[in-house]
Amino acid sequence: MNALFLILIALVTLGAAATAMALRNLIHSVLLLIGSWIGVSVFYLFAGAEFVAFAQVLVYVGAVSMVVLFAVLLTRRSRLDISVTPDSLSRAISAVLAAGAVLGVLLYGIVFTPLPGAAPKGPSATVKQLGVELMGDHAAALLIIGLILTVATLGAVVIASNDPKAEDRQ
Partner 1 sequence: MTAPINPADSLLERAPQALRDLVTSHFPQPWRWFANGLLADVAILAVFGLLFAALTLAERKILGRVQNRPGPNRTGPFGLLQPIADGIKMLSKEDIVPRDADHLLHFLAPVTLLASAIMAFAVIPYGRNLVPVDLDAGVLYFFCVGATTELAVFMAGWSSHNKYSLLAAMRALAQLISYELPLLLSWVPVVMISGTLSTTGIVAAQSGWRWGWMPTWHVFTPWGLAGFIIFMVSALAESNRSPFDLPEAESELIAGHLTEYSGCKYVFFFMAEYFGMTALSGMAVTLFLGGWHAPLPALEFIPSYAWFGIKLISLLMGFIWIRATFPRLRMDQLTRFAWKFLVPLALINLATAAFWSLSFGWSGPMLAARCGVALVLVIVPFVLLGRRLTAGLAPRSYAYAT
Binding footprint of partner 1 on the chain (CB under 8 A): 27, 31, 34, 50-51, 54-55, 57-58, 61-63, 65-66, 69-70, 73, 124, 126-128
Residue 33: CB atoms within 10 Å: 19
Distance between CA atoms of 65 and 60, rounded to whole angstroms? Answer: 6
Sign of CA dihedral 42, 48, 52, 55: positive
Q: According to DSSP H, which parts of the chain are helical?
A: 2-22, 26-46, 50-56, 65-75, 89-112, 127-135, 139-160, 164-169
| Comparison of 27 and 147: residue with beta carbon closer to partner 1 | 27
Q: Which is nearer to partner 1, 9 or 38 (CB)?
A: 38
Least distance to partner 1 from the beta carbon of 142, Å?
Answer: 16
As measured in angstroms, the least distance from the Cβ of 141 to partner 1 is 21
What is the phi-psi region of residue 48: left when phi exceeds 0, alpha when psi lies from -120 to 50, beta otherwise?
A: left
Give whichever of 77 and 128 is closer to partner 1, judged by the CB atom: 128
CB of 57 to partner 1, least distance (A): 4
**What is the chain's length?**
170
State in Å, rounded, how far the first CA of the chain is from the last one: 68
Minimal distance, residue 65 CB to partner 1, in Å: 6
Q: Which of 5/108 has CB closer to partner 1? A: 5
- Backbone φ, ψ for residue 87 (5° rounding): -65, -45
| Least spacing, CB of residue 73 vs partner 1, in Å | 8
Nearest CB to partner 1, comparing residues 27 and 103: 27
